[in-house]
Amino acid sequence: MRVDANELQRFFRPKSVAVVGASVKEGTVGRALIENLIERFRGRIYPVNIKYDEVLGLKCFKSCRDLPEPPDLVVVAVPARVVPKVIDECGSIGSRAAVVISAGFREIGGEGAKLEEAVVKMARKHGMRVIGPNCLGIYSPSVGLDTIFNPSDRQGKPDAGPVAFISQSGALGAAVLDWFTEAGLGMSKFVSYGNAADVKEYELIEFLADDEETKVITAYLEGVEDGRKFSESLRYAAGRGKPVIILKAGKSVKGAKAVSSHTGSMAGSYRVYESAIKQFGGLLVDELSELVIAAKALSWLPTPRGDRVAIVTNGGGAGVLATDAVEKYGMRMAELTDDTQKALRNELPSAAAVGNPVDVLGDAPPERYRKALKWVIKDPNVDALVVIGIMQSPAFDPEGFIEVLREASSGVSKPVVIAAPGGEYTSDKISKIEKLLHLPAFKTPEEAVRALSYLMRWRKVVERFGKG
C-alpha cells in the first residue's frame, strides 16, 4: 500500500504554521523558528506561548485552542514532557501535521520512550501525522517554508531545485544543507525526521518518488524499523525513475551502538542493509563527501548509454590518474574510432596524444580544447567524458575554457564532468563552471571519475527496473 501523498503534502505546502514555544529571547530555538518563517514563508504565522502577547511583531496566542483557525502545520519546540498535551490540543482543533523539534524522547530511553509513545497515541487519536521528535525541522524552498531552527546567518539554505534530502540526524542534515548551498545544488525538500516516531523514512521516500519537484533523493540513515517496507520504497522509487542515494551509518559494532544512543534506532547488521539497498535499487555511498558528488552527477547529468569513458586533458599525469580511476570504478576506457583519431591528428599539434586519454598538451589554449572535444564527444564509442584542465598553465584561459565547455556540452546526451587540480585559484573557477553550466567539477581526476561511476550504477538500476 502506497503512502497517502495528501497526508505528507501538508508538511510541505501549508498555508498556515503555528510555532508552539515561540520566543522573543535571543539565542533560543523558538525565536529562530519565528525569524526564519518571517524571512521566507508566504503564509500565515501563529506564535504560541503563554508568556507573550506578541512575538517579533506577530500576535502571540496562549494556546493552540486560541488560534483563529486550525494551522495546517504545527512546529513544536517545548520541553518533552509538554509535547503530548500540545499534540492533543492541536489535534483537537483540526490540525493534522506536526513537526516536533523537542528532544528527550526514545533516544534517552526510559521515561523518554514513554513520552514518545504518548505523542504517537495522541496523534493517532486525532488522525494527525508527526515528523520527529528530536529533529532539526523541514525545509521546502519552493514555498518558502523553513522550520529549521538554525539561524539563517549561520545555516546555508539551498535555492529551490531537484534534490531532496532526508536525514535521521539533525546536525548532519545542517552540514549537508551548507554543502548543497556551497555546491549550488538546488533542493526540493529537506526533512530531518529524528526518531521517526510516526512518519517513517520509507514513507518519505515513497512520497518523494511521486513528488514532481524531486529528481534525486538523498538520505542519511541510522536504522529502520521495517526492513520490508523500506526495501519496497527503494524499489518503488527506482521504478519511478528516482535515484535514492543512501549514506548508512553504523557500519562498525561501536557505530551501531552509537546509533541507539543518538535516535533510539536499532542499526542492525550493515551487511544486511548493504545487500537490501543494492538489491532493491538504492545507491549506497560510503562517505559523506560522496553524497554530494553523487547528487551533483545524478541531478545535473544525463544517464549514459554505456560505460565507455573518454578523457581529454592538458596534463599527462592527470590523464593517467583518471585512467586508473576508470578501471578502479568498474568502467572501460573508450576505444576512439579511426575517424576520430585521424581528425585529431589533423587538428592538434604533432606532439599531442590522440588515443585515449587525448592529451592536448600543457600549452593548450581554449581553441585546442574546442577542436578535441568536438570530435571526442561525438565519437560513437564514447558514452561519457572527463575533461581535465590544469589551470596553472600560462596558456590556459579559464573564461575561454568555460565557453568551450558550454558549447561542447550543449544539446549533448552524454555526461561531461570536469577535473581541475589546484588551490584557491582553481576552486574559484570550479565554482563558476558549476554555477554557470551545471557540470560537476572537482579538484581531482579521481573524484570526477567517481561522479561518473554513480551514473553508471544508476544506468544498471534503470535497466533492471525499466524506468529512466
Grid cell 562498525 in the structure block, residue: 252
Residue 231 half-sphere exposure toward CB, CA atoms < 13 A: 12
pLDDT at 152: 84
292/273 Cα distance (integer angstroms): 21
Domains 1-136 and 156-300 share a fold: yes
Q: What is the DSSP string of 321-367?
A: HHHHHHHHTT-EE----HHHHHHHHHHS-TTSB-SSSEE--TT--HH
Q: Which three cell numbers stand for residue 455?
A: 551514473
Closest among 288, 323, 439 to 429, alpha carbons compared: 439
pLDDT at 371: 97
Q: In terms of C-beta distances under 8 Å and separation of at least 24 residues, what long-range contacts does 457-465 make, across chains too?
A: 457/283, 458/243, 458/283, 458/298, 458/303, 459/303, 459/304, 459/305, 459/306, 459/307, 461/238, 461/243, 461/281, 461/283, 462/238, 462/241, 462/303, 464/238, 464/281, 465/235, 465/238, 465/239, 465/281
Residue 453 half-sphere exposure toward CB, CA atoms < 13 A: 21
Fold of the domain built from segment(s) 1-136: Rossmann fold (3.40.50)
192/202 Cα distance (integer angstroms): 14
Q: Give pLDDT tens digits along the chain (468 positions).
A: 567 777 899 999 999 999 999 999 999 999 999 999 999 999 999 999 999 999 999 999 999 999 999 999 999 999 999 999 999 999 999 999 999 999 999 999 899 999 999 999 999 999 999 999 999 999 999 999 999 999 888 899 999 999 999 999 999 999 999 999 988 899 999 999 999 999 999 999 999 999 999 999 999 999 898 999 999 999 999 999 999 999 998 765 454 455 444 444 545 577 888 889 999 999 999 998 899 999 999 999 999 999 999 999 999 999 999 999 999 999 999 999 999 999 999 999 999 999 999 999 999 999 999 999 999 999 999 999 999 999 999 999 999 999 999 999 998 999 999 999 999 999 999 999 999 999 999 999 999 999 999 999 999 999 998 754
Domain boundaries, the chain: 1-136, 156-300, 302-465
pLDDT at 268: 59
Closest among 393, 407, 420 to 312, alpha carbons compared: 420
Please give the CATH number for the structural domain made up of 156-300: 3.40.50.261
Fold of the domain built from segment(s) 302-465: Rossmann fold (3.40.50)
pLDDT at 145: 97
